[in-house]
Amino acid sequence: MTCRLVILASGTGTIAQAIIDAYELDIKVVAVLSDQIASQVLERAKTVGIPSECIPVGNSRELWNIEIVEKTAAFEPDLVVSAGFMRILPPDFVNRFPTINIHPSLLPDFPGAHAVRDALAAGVLTTGSTVHWVDAGVDTGPIITQMQVPVLPHDDERTLHERIKKIERSLIVTTIALILPKLEQHV
């Protein structure tokens, strides 16, 4: 059965685009949700006719926590993919929806919002990307797949992150393909 998938993203959405373009996957992207009104990912969704919505964090984080659960539930997802979503999801969310996240480091190394910068600062020769199940922690859930990327001598944060994102666009698609049969039992 076709997997109903909701994408969460805050930024340019190139990873989201790779999922949208993955016609080989038996998925239907039923919504793209963002916390940033100016996020390019919302435009990408509109271009291909996927319902999209911005859910900004207003004055109350508690209200947002409720809103993100309710708005996501309305799309009845079988799987949620956090693809560059820069918010911690509340426990109610991750307990309710199977959710995966893609993170630009080889977890458990360099969790958090500045993974690429932190890897450069640490002087590692190899970094990469990780796709993991999301739990209530910050980049702590069980690892599903990882891919290495070498750090080159003249890399800065931008060049290194671009090379990581290049492999992330295929890593996310192969990882979704890998977990779809496991979700089948619940779909």
Give yes or no: 103 in active site.
Answer: yes
Q: Which is nearer to ligand GRF, 12 or 146 (CB)?
A: 12
Q: Whole-angstrom Cα distance, residue 72 to residue 67?
A: 8
Q: Which of 103, 114, 132, 154 is catalytic?
A: 103
Q: For residue 185, how many other CB atoms are within 10 A of its CB?
A: 6
Residue 69 amino acid letter: V
Triad 75, 182, 141: Cα angle to 5°? 80
Which of left, alpha, beta for 130 (phi over 0: left; psi -120 to 50: alpha)?
beta
Two structure tokens written together for 6: 């909701």
Q: Which is nearer to ligand GRF, 73 or 137 (CB)?
A: 137
Tell me the residue nearest to ligand GRF as measured from the CB: 84
Residues 6 or more apart whose CB falls under 8 angstroms from that of 144 comprise: 100, 131, 132, 133, 175, 178, 179
Q: How far is the CB of 98 from ligand GRF (least distance, A)?
A: 18
Q: How far is the CB of 178 from ligand GRF (least distance, A)?
A: 17
Q: How far is the CB of 30 from ligand GRF (least distance, A)?
A: 19
Q: Which is nearer to ligand GRF, 87 or 103 (CB)?
A: 103
Q: Which is nearer to ligand GRF, 3 or 100 (CB)?
A: 100
Q: Which is nearer to ligand GRF, 65 or 169 (CB)?
A: 169
Q: How far is the CB of 1 from ligand GRF (least distance, A)?
A: 27
Q: Which of 99, 27, 11 is nearest to 19 (CA)?
A: 27
Q: Which of 176, 185, 150, 148 is nearest to 82 (CA)?
A: 176
> Coil, helix or strand for 10?
coil
Q: How far is the CB of 15 from ligand GRF (least distance, A)?
A: 3
List contacts with ligand GRF (CB under 6 A). 11-16, 83-84, 102-104, 129, 164-165, 168
Q: Whole-angstrom Cα distance, residue 137 to residue 115?
A: 16
- Catalytically active residues, by annotation: 103
